[in-house]
Amino acid sequence: MNKRVLVTGGCGFIGRHLTRELLDNGYQVRVLDSLIDQVHGGTEAQLDPRVELFQGDVRDAMVVRPALIDIDMVVHLAAEVGVGQSMYEIARYVGANDLGTAVLLEEIARTQISRIVVASSMSVYGEGLYEDSQGRLHNNVRRNVFQIGPGAWEPLDQQGQPLSPVATDEEKPVDLASIYALTKYAQERAVMIFAEAYRREAVALRLFNVFGPGQALSNPYTGVLANFASRLAAGQPPMIFEDGRQRRDFVHVRDVARAFRLALEKQQASGHVINIGSGVSWSVAEVARLLAEAMNVPEIAPEILGKARAGDIRNCFADISKARELLGYQPQHPLDGSLGELAAWVREAGGTDRGPEMRRQLEERGLVS
């Protein structure tokens, strides 16, 4: 009999790609999703008709309990997403992410569900891993919020010397720089602690910057590439905090969906926290320019704001050695080969540019300096 998987948050960007990945590989799929407007805007209609949809809030045990009936494994994606918004809608993020996970786990405890895979985030690292001019690694770097500014964006060592970012592996200690990061780490640890206590199998995937067709273009907190695309589609320059040289790892959503399937299947992954990225770093300004070229508006240069946003980090990109070893994971959709596909989807999908609204919300609360 085919395995039955419940995907919480399965109507979201990653969730829709994951449901297709699971269906294509012989799984039966049920989705539990609250279908909030900021994230979805009617995208539940894009679900494969073979998916069984339960609409409701993961914090409601009376919704979660029937959704778990006859389920073998769970992928827990349901969460509020976005560093910036988490810094002023704190109760919303803690409630949805942490209380939601707690309710889900209490209900799983009533069942015989064998494996849980939870979506964590690269944000739990805070700053990524760095090395100094002598090649010594620094795993506890944090910028002084009172000193960040033009000409002083990069982290320094204790002697005031510049540090160079290197790929971040799972051994790097967490350093929670935002409410969003705090809630994602709480989700991750709650699942792992629960699994050990109840003798279940669990895997946590720390996702880096996920991109691809299907992102919510009208949600300014959904991801940097979707934000840039919405701005460019409206003929406006992408807005970039700091100086644009901060480096990130962009991983295609289809690679992420495959990683989740592998995390359900690979016995050796149980009990592990695993990075899921591309293993390649890009500067944010460079990505904005590449996307403008892909969207045939190369003359629209990004707007470099020269301001820092509370909760943001400077550099973080993935070491994916563990994913290769435990999951057999290998990225197949590199950023520079996938922007044409993204541009074509943006032209078809459209979207509302809400970047200025996001910036206003942050500035009104003193969260941009």
Q: What are the catalytic residues?
A: 180
Under a CB-based contact definition with an 8 Å cutoff, are residues 23 and 51 in contact?
yes
Phi, psi of 339 (to 5 degrees): -70, -30
- Kind of pairing, strands 129-131 and 137-138? antiparallel
- Kind of pairing, strands 115-121 and 201-207? parallel
Tokens read off for 272: 């592990």
Under a CB-based contact definition with an 8 Å cutoff, are residues 155 and 141 in contact?
yes
**Rounded distance between C-alpha atoms, residue 28 and residue 261, angstroms:** 12
* DSSP summary character for residue 330: -
Neighbours of 153 (CB within 10 A): 18
Neighbours of 54 (CB within 10 A): 16
Under a CB-based contact definition with an 8 Å cutoff, are residues 242 and 320 in contact?
no
**Rounded distance between C-alpha atoms, residue 260 and residue 251, angstroms:** 13
Under a CB-based contact definition with an 8 Å cutoff, are residues 222 and 216 in contact?
yes
**Rounded distance between C-alpha atoms, residue 188 and residue 179, angstroms:** 14
Cα–Cα distances (Å) from 169 to 172, 174, 318, in that order, read: 6, 11, 6
Please count the CA atoms within 13 angstroms of the CA of 245 that sit on its side-chain side: 10
125's CB contacts (< 8 A; 6+ apart) are: 168, 172, 174, 175, 206, 313, 316
Under a CB-based contact definition with an 8 Å cutoff, are residues 338 and 213 in contact?
no
Query: Smallest Cα–Cα separation from 258: which of 50, 25, 12, 79?
Result: 25
